[in-house]
Amino acid sequence: MVSFRHGSASLVAESFGEGERTYVLLHGIGMGRSVFVDLASRLSGRVIGIDLAGFGEAPEPEALLSMPAHADLVAAFLGAHDIRDAVIIGHSMGCQVAMEMAVRAPDRVGALVLAGPTVDASARTLPQQAWRMLRDVLRERSVVIWRGLREYVRGGPHVFGKIRAMLDHRPEDLGPRIHVPALVVRGSDDEVVPEQWARRLTATMEHGAYAEIHGFRHETMIFDAVPVVALIDELVDNL
């Protein structure tokens, strides 16, 4: 595990495995790299799990970071370690950071995997998102609920400011500026990310592709990463 500081913010990164291909894992709001244990163990190559600034074990930044600022911090970390053409795998809010990276640091990004991408343009208020998340979580597996609650507690006192930064971001505006392969993955039972929104976001990207995993909810990849790893392997085989 290493801590990396750039400007006034720091992230924490942990690397697993070896290989020609590098995968970078970006978690959702209130989460951390620990939720990707199953996914990291199944990817073939070098896997880097990130705690974004103010999440997981990463310290609170001096000022709350926007999605572009998070992307710049991760890109600076990759640059410091001479990592190019990585497969950036985002979940939920992590998708927004991943998309910003593809626009702001395209030399660092070889492909995107966007699992349960937020935020649906038709529901960008805190009450709407909270209600959707509650409906989703109440039907989730207990292990997912436990991991999520643990990470939310670690999210610190500024969690509502972090949610506001997520809600203020417009990922659909980035889509036309993304030119790498981008796989959008949605659990068929995801209450947070409607199919219409996921398909709309996919269509904004030049090389966007959409896939749905039957029987999964918003926390796709956390409980059982097998289906999404199969999709990732197919994407990488075609790069």
Domain boundaries, the chain: 2-234
pTM of this prediction?
0.88
* Residue predicted with more confidence, 172 or 122: 172
- Note the pLDDT of residue 188: 92
Question: How large is the C-alpha radius of gyration of the chain?
Answer: 16
- Measured CA to CA, the distance from residue 4 to residue 72 in angstroms comes to 12
- Note the pLDDT of residue 161: 75
Residues 181-199 have a mean pLDDT of 93
CATH of domain 2-234: 3.40.50.1820
Asked which of 2-11, 90-99, 110-119, 140-149 is least confident by mean pLDDT, the reply is 140-149
Dihedral of CA atoms 124, 126, 130, 132 in degrees, nearest 10, equals -20
Three-state DSSP state, 183: strand
Confidence grade of residue 130 (pLDDT, cut at 50, 70, 90) = low
- Measured CA to CA, the distance from residue 61 to residue 55 in angstroms comes to 10
Confidence grade of residue 145 (pLDDT, cut at 50, 70, 90) = very low
Residues 38-51 have a mean pLDDT of 94
- Note the pLDDT of residue 127: 62
Q: Is 23 left (phi over 0), alpha (psi -120 to 50) or beta?
A: beta
